[in-house]
Amino acid sequence: MKRECAEAAYKLIKNGMTIGLGGGRTIQYLIEFINMGNLDQIKVVTPSMSTALACKSHGITVIPTWLTSSLDIAFDGCDQVDESLNALKSGGAIHTQERIVAAMAKQYVLLVDSSKLVQKLTFDYPVAVEVVPEAFSYVKSQLEKMGAQVAWRTGSGKDGGVMTDQGNPVMDAAFNTVDDVAALNRRISDIPGVVDTSLFVGIAAKAIVAQPDGTVTVI
């Protein structure tokens, strides 16, 4: 399914474009399609080290995000997307840079299999929140007041949990029920010290959804 999704995405790319690519396995398939096709003049911007390495290994040009202000199109995976194209991107802890890439793109396209498409985000996954280190305890307490269970994401951080490429901790805020996704995202983003959240509201132009029967639908 990820392969079919990637193939549908590949068809939207034209030679000469500068494109954004996020992380994940579907994006890896898309890189394989780009490599097999005649897209030798494209340039890629990516927040993902794995994606950058895969592109480089196929001779696909990768340019720095900070030298880029506009992209023809960008593709990314997510953990869950709803029918209004709100997405939760909790997994990679690179959401701050992913959102920058998304913002630069004329079209930000999510690539998912049908298991990730829901009518309304269910918040089975936490909202990842990148914070300035000095604001760690304050932001944690504010998220808890909003009803979330909050933990510093465990992983490879040398003093504790996961740190981003920007040197900031990432905490996971698990919410039980959320009525208004946009309002929740605004409230979290407004807490002083929050750098960015993994809740992508009103950003995606479309989602390419791969179905188990091998077809794809676009929402």
- In the shown chain, the binding pattern of residues 60 to 99 toward ligand 5RP, with x for contact by CB under 6 A and - for none, equals ----------------xxxx---------xxxx-------
Burial class (CB in 10 A: 0-12, 13-18, 19+), 179: exposed
| 7 catalytic residue (yes or no) | no
Binding status of residue 47 toward ligand 5RP by CB under 6 A: no
- Number of Cβ within a 10 Å radius of residue 78: 27
Which residue number, 18 or 46, has a Cβ lying nearer to ligand 5RP?
A: 46
Q: Could you tell me the smallest distance in angstroms from the CB atom of residue 11 to ligand 5RP? A: 18
Q: Amino acid identity of 1? A: M
Q: How many CB atoms lie within 10 A of CB 11?
A: 10
Catalytic-labelled residue, pool 98, 130, 134, 144: 98
Nearest residue to 49 (alpha-carbon basis) of 92, 100, 102, 90: 92
Give the β-pairing of 18-21 and 43-45.
Answer: parallel
The 101-120 contact track toward ligand 5RP, x by CB under 6 A, reads --------------------
23 belongs to the binding site for ligand 5RP (CB under 6 A): yes
Q: Crossing angle for the helix pair 2-10 and 25-36, nearest 10 degrees?
A: 50
Nearer to ligand 5RP (CB atom), residue 102 or residue 194: 102
Residues that bind ligand 5RP (CB under 6 A): 2, 22-26, 76-79, 89-92
Positions marked catalytic: 98
